[in-house]
Structure 1
Amino acid sequence: MKKLMVATCAIAWAGLSSSAFAQEKNYGPGVTDTEVKIGQTMPYSGPASSFAAIGRAMTAYFQKVNAEGGVNGRKINLISLDDGYSPPKAVEQTRRLVESEEVLAIVGTFGSPTNFATQKYLNAKKVPGLFLGTGANRVSEPATYPWSMGWQPNNHAKGVIYAKYLLKERPNAKVAVLFQNDDFGRDHLKGFRDGLGDKAASMIVKELSYEIAEPTIDSQILILKATGADVFLDISTPKFSAQAIKKMAETKWDALHLLSDAAGSISSTLVPAGLDNSKGVITVAFRKDPNDAAWVDDAGMKEYLAFMKQYMPEANPSETYHVFGYATAQTFIHVLTNCGDDLTRENLMKQATSIKDLVLPIMLPGIKFNTSPTRYTPMSQEQLMQFDGVKWKPIGEVIDAEK
């Protein structure tokens, strides 16, 4: 009888333990014991197709994670669809991902127009949109969009960082500003003004905008040069930044040229402008550049290059958009790991808004990720970089927009 009671108790305890363990697993859409299904849209075609490298790198990185056993025993199934950089197409594809594929979350979708188009829908459905590839401020406003989170420093922060740099290095500067007449340009400019504070009125001598459909910004450059400004804040995209660099060289406007990081590509901006003309321009960066020999012996860079060789052997490892996708995927893996077996959309957002001093080895030294329920911008730090005619070189210390 005693043996029977012991056996019965053991069976009952085992049943309770099994039940308790089962209750610890809490799954949302797209999750099983063996898989986590997530989605994204990317411009694999259309005018922004060069950014498709981000999606390809994320796909390849998740393949690497899966080959190594997945996350907490589950494989990552990323469904990456083409949106052609078209907002209506992005909405159509995102609806498919949420309603037909039933993904747990949207992760890493690139582009401001495409993310703007889907943001209200995802928030209404309470679907996380995590580590979205845009610097637009509105993707990281928890009070308005609690289910959306950006990844890189937002455009307001970049403006603040330039302001902090000038207040320290050139407090008596006269600044002329050119900005793209959209959220990208206006967010940067507001950050710059906010960063200058009371000195904005005296330091900013002229602001001019341009429309992205304009063929040239030559007339704006001439007007800004005529102000006598000795600093030029250029909040433009590669085509217009290249025009600005060339026009400044032609007219011998010897102002310190601060470029948006959107125009920081050597091949897309500085080569068309002329490398000699581009000497001395400054931009900001947060990730290591595979083109920079300074990282040839760096452990993080070696790890990245080994990944590229094994999982993207046909791709160009020097393309910095691959680094972008690689690091975005690493950030998501960090959050997913912290979710454990509570893989609901609610807990995914909870973990995404609880990142503390995360350091990724492919980021520049000093760059850390931090989030909270009221802070949806994982990065607020940038390193200023100056072009020496061949490559970007870091200048000064990493600047934090929030400190």
Structure 2
Amino acid sequence: MVLVACGPADEGSGSRSGTPGVTNDSIVLGSSLALTGHAGYLGTQTLQGAEAYLRYINDHGGVHGRKIRIKAVDDSYDPPRCLANTQKFIIDNDVLALFSYVGTPTTVKVLPLLEEAHVPLIGMFTGANRLREPPNRYVVNIRASYYQETHTAVTNMITELGIRKIAVFYQYDAYGFDGLIGTELALKEYGLEPVARGSYIRGTLDITEAVEKISKSGAEAVVMIGTYGACARFINLARDEDYNPIFYNVSFVGAEELARRVGGGNATVLMSQVVPPPVDDGTDSAASQYVQLMNKYFPGESPSFVGLEGFLNARILVEGLKKAGRKLTRERLVDAIESIRNYKLGPGMFITYGKHDRQGLDQVYFTRLQKGRFVPFTDWKTLEKMRGSH
């Protein structure tokens, strides 16, 4: 399924500029992401957030007189499909850049193509270390990494809560391995290692064995590197069996969908985020702008952490396009993004890139599930009372 977003299909039919995906009046981007399947919520939210900003830009004349369109193709979070979609984008030679991919196993699969074709990939909904080290000229990350998320969470659990027995529940693929390694590295700093490791196969909800293995270990906290369906099933099954550790999830899990599937109950469910809460606080922050533009272009749709990530992807893309100028090429776009310094997205949020700095943001925020939704918190000591009530 192909969606042509941010404008009608025949928009931008002006003469070619000589650069793939660029005409006199349009810029076309290619995006392979999950629009259906067990990660469909993540892809649709990412795309919607990006579209909210790009529609706003297009309504105000575009960038240097060009409107921006996204060719979005569903890969259902399946690596071979993502690879095939990306090969088609490159062979057809009709997109300037790749944009807002979703997931580690899918995105990692296309890395060799980027190097070979010199096609930039801008803004991915994944914190995989493989996309950051070693630095790749054609890979532009916006958000913090899984290593940063898990390190900050593990550090707080050990130093603030005194927890020493931490297990890992992970998806058995590149995404899960990345989170597992990040957790192991963080634990190693304190002379620890996971008391148990339990996994499941991507695309399934077969988590019973993992729950049994981890619950028997007596882990006081479980680091969860999975998708919302599997993580919610793990939490619900553990709760049914009266096993109540702290359940900590990384940002990729998807806060709103996990909250919906876990529901109420007394489980202590935490999640790290790599963007601030998606609320309009009356400031000129990117979060406030995102909520306002969602209300304008997608009335009735709820803002989300995932959608805000997509929105930030689009903000950085547009800033790069502006800096690249009217004589747009792939190389000029990459050079332009590398030149971004202290680009403000909100209070305490500044983006800076460089030749060896391929990630814009480093902030990690924490939320906890409360009354059916994830709310921000900063005081880890308050969690002790929550644990004591279980």
Which deviations, in whole Å up to 9, do the C-alpha atoms of 1:7-50 show, x marking residues without a partner? Answer: xxxxxxxxxxxxxxxxxxx9743335543332222333444332
Q: Is 1:160 aligned to 2:160, yes or no?
A: no
Q: Which residue, out of 32, 53, 57, partners 1:65?
A: 57
Given that residues 27 and 341 in structure 1 are in contact (C-alpha distance below 8 angstroms), is that contact kept between their aligned partners in structure 2?
no
SS at 1:381 equivalent: coil
Given that residues 151 and 379 in structure 1 are in contact (C-alpha distance below 8 angstroms), is that contact kept between their aligned partners in structure 2?
yes
Q: Is 1:43 aligned to 2:25, yes or no?
A: no
| C-alpha spacing 1:210/1:75, structure 2 compared with 1 (3 Å) | closer
| C-alpha spacing 1:252/1:46, structure 2 compared with 1 (3 Å) | closer
Given that residues 103 and 175 in structure 2 are in contact (C-alpha distance below 8 angstroms), is that contact kept between their aligned partners in structure 1?
no
Q: Is 1:324 aligned to 2:309, yes or no?
A: yes
TM-score under structure 1 length normalisation: 0.78
The residue correspondences of 1:4-403 to structure 2 (distance < 5 A) are: 28-50=19-41, 51-143=43-135, 145-171=136-162, 173-201=164-192, 204-212=194-202, 215-266=205-256, 268-278=257-267, 280-290=268-278, 295=280, 297-300=282-285, 301-313=287-299, 316-361=301-346, 365-396=347-378
Q: CA deviation at 1:284?
A: 0.7
SS at 2:45 equivalent: helix
Question: Using the alignment, how far apart are the partners of 1:66 and 1:373 within structure 2?
Answer: 30
Quick one: which amino acid aligns to residue 308 of structure 1? M
Given that residues 156 and 191 in structure 1 are in contact (C-alpha distance below 8 angstroms), is that contact kept between their aligned partners in structure 2?
yes
Question: Using the alignment, how far apart are the partners of 2:230 and 2:93 within structure 1?
Answer: 40
- Alignment coverage as a number of residue pairs: 362
Q: CA deviation at 1:269?
A: 2.3
Question: Using the alignment, how far apart are the partners of 1:263 and 1:70 within structure 2?
Answer: 33
Name the % identity: 23
Q: CA deviation at 1:328?
A: 1.5
Q: CA deviation at 1:296?
A: 5.4
Q: CA deviation at 1:171?
A: 4.6
Question: Using the alignment, how far apart are the partners of 1:318 and 1:92 within structure 2?
Answer: 31
SS at 1:135 equivalent: coil
Q: CA deviation at 1:329?
A: 0.8
| C-alpha spacing 1:397/1:88, structure 2 compared with 1 (3 Å) | same
| C-alpha spacing 1:99/1:318, structure 2 compared with 1 (3 Å) | same
Give ranges in structure 1 of 5+ residues lacking alignment.
Answer: 1-25, 399-403
Quick one: which amino acid aligns to residue 257 of structure 1? F
Question: Using the alignment, how far apart are the partners of 1:84 and 1:255 within structure 2?
Answer: 32
SS at 2:265 equivalent: helix
Question: Using the alignment, how far apart are the partners of 1:215 and 1:54 within structure 2?
Answer: 23
Quick one: which amino acid aligns to residue 369 of structure 2? F
SS at 1:78 equivalent: strand
Question: Using the alignment, how far apart are the partners of 1:305 and 1:212 within structure 2?
Answer: 32
Question: Using the alignment, how far apart are the partners of 2:88 and 2:221 within structure 1?
Answer: 48
Which deviations, in whole Å up to 9, do the C-alpha atoms of 1:109-158 show, x marking residues without a partner? Answer: 22334323332122201111111232222223345x43223332222222
Question: Using the alignment, how far apart are the partners of 2:336 and 2:103 within structure 1?
Answer: 24
SS at 1:275 equivalent: coil
Question: Using the alignment, how far apart are the partners of 2:47 and 2:186 within structure 1?
Answer: 33
Question: Using the alignment, how far apart are the partners of 2:199 and 2:38 within structure 1?
Answer: 22
Quick one: which amino acid aligns to residue 349 of structure 1? V
Question: Using the alignment, how far apart are the partners of 1:389 and 1:236 within structure 2?
Answer: 23
Question: Using the alignment, how far apart are the partners of 1:222 and 1:376 within structure 2?
Answer: 40
SS at 2:247 equivalent: strand
Q: CA deviation at 1:64?
A: 1.7
SS at 2:159 equivalent: helix
Rg comparison, structure with higher value: 1
Which deviations, in whole Å up to 9, do the C-alpha atoms of 1:271-303 show, x marking residues without a partner? Answer: 33331233x32111133444x6xx454554553
Question: Using the alignment, how far apart are the partners of 1:61 and 1:237 within structure 2?
Answer: 26
Given that residues 157 and 188 in structure 1 are in contact (C-alpha distance below 8 angstroms), is that contact kept between their aligned partners in structure 2?
no
Q: CA deviation at 1:256?
A: 2.4
| C-alpha spacing 1:44/1:306, structure 2 compared with 1 (3 Å) | same
Q: CA deviation at 1:331?
A: 1.6
Given that residues 255 and 374 in structure 2 are in contact (C-alpha distance below 8 angstroms), is that contact kept between their aligned partners in structure 1?
no
Given that residues 218 and 243 in structure 1 are in contact (C-alpha distance below 8 angstroms), is that contact kept between their aligned partners in structure 2?
no
Q: CA deviation at 1:224?
A: 2.2
TM-score under structure 2 length normalisation: 0.80
SS at 2:344 equivalent: coil
| C-alpha spacing 1:343/1:253, structure 2 compared with 1 (3 Å) | same
Which deviations, in whole Å up to 9, do the C-alpha atoms of 1:165-199 show, x marking residues without a partner? Answer: 23431355221222222211211121122223342
Given that residues 41 and 81 in structure 1 are in contact (C-alpha distance below 8 angstroms), is that contact kept between their aligned partners in structure 2?
yes
Q: CA deviation at 1:307?
A: 1.6
